[in-house]
């Protein structure tokens, strides 16, 4: 640690074991702690905008056009980085939502699986139970 001329060294004045004398070092965090913090920072950005994007494939009853459109809207919002486009970009934004919705519907119509379809109510109950456990 380099001393600054004219300023006393904190370790000399307070001692290395003093609570106010030790300076926290961000590099002392473990890799897992840094990753966790990074995920939390990123999660705050993502969760505010993309919570409505849900798995739409292999459910009984199948996804509605409203669900497909909502997922497309959330995707375009995420890519654009805004929840509401400026007046100059409304046409491009709406066109992108329609294109993504059409591509999503095409994908859902052509996906094939051998798994039994999931029940929406059962999956919603599981999600509610996970949420209750997480926030309990």
Q: What are the C-alpha distances in Å from 130 to residues 35, 47, 106, 118, 124?
A: 23, 17, 31, 17, 10
Burial class (CB in 10 A: 0-12, 13-18, 19+), 124: exposed
**Dihedrals phi, psi of 59, to nearest 5 degrees:** -115, 150
Q: Please name the helix (run of DSSP H) or strand (run of DSSP E) that holds residue 95, with its range, or none.
A: helix 90-110
DSSP 18: S
Q: What pLDDT does residue 3 have? A: 63
Assess whether pLDDT exceeds 70 at residue 4: no
pLDDT digits (tens, 9 = 90+) for 68-113: 999 999 999 989 999 899 999 999 999 999 999 999 999 999 999 9
pLDDT digits (tens, 9 = 90+) for 14-67: 555 555 555 555 557 777 777 777 767 655 544 444 565 778 999 988 999 999
Cβ atoms 81, 23 nearer than 8 A:
no
């Amino acid at each position: 640690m380099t001393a600054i001329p004219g300023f006393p060294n904190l370790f000399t004045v307070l001692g290395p074991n003093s609570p106010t004398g030790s300076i926290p070092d961000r590099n002392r965090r473990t890799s897992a702690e840094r990753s966790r913090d990074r995920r939390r920072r990123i999660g705050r950005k993502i969760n505010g905008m993309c919570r409505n994007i849900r798995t739409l494939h292999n459910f009984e009853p199948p996804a509605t056009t409203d669900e497909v459109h909502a997922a497309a809207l959330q995707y375009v919002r995420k890519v654009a980085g805004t929840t509401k486009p400026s007046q100059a970009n409304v046409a491009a934004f709406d066109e992108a939502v329609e294109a993504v919705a059409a591509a999503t519907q095409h994908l859902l119509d052509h996906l094939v699986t051998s798994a039994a379809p999931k029940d929406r109510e059962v999956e919603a109950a599981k999600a509610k139970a996970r949420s209750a456990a997480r926030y309990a």
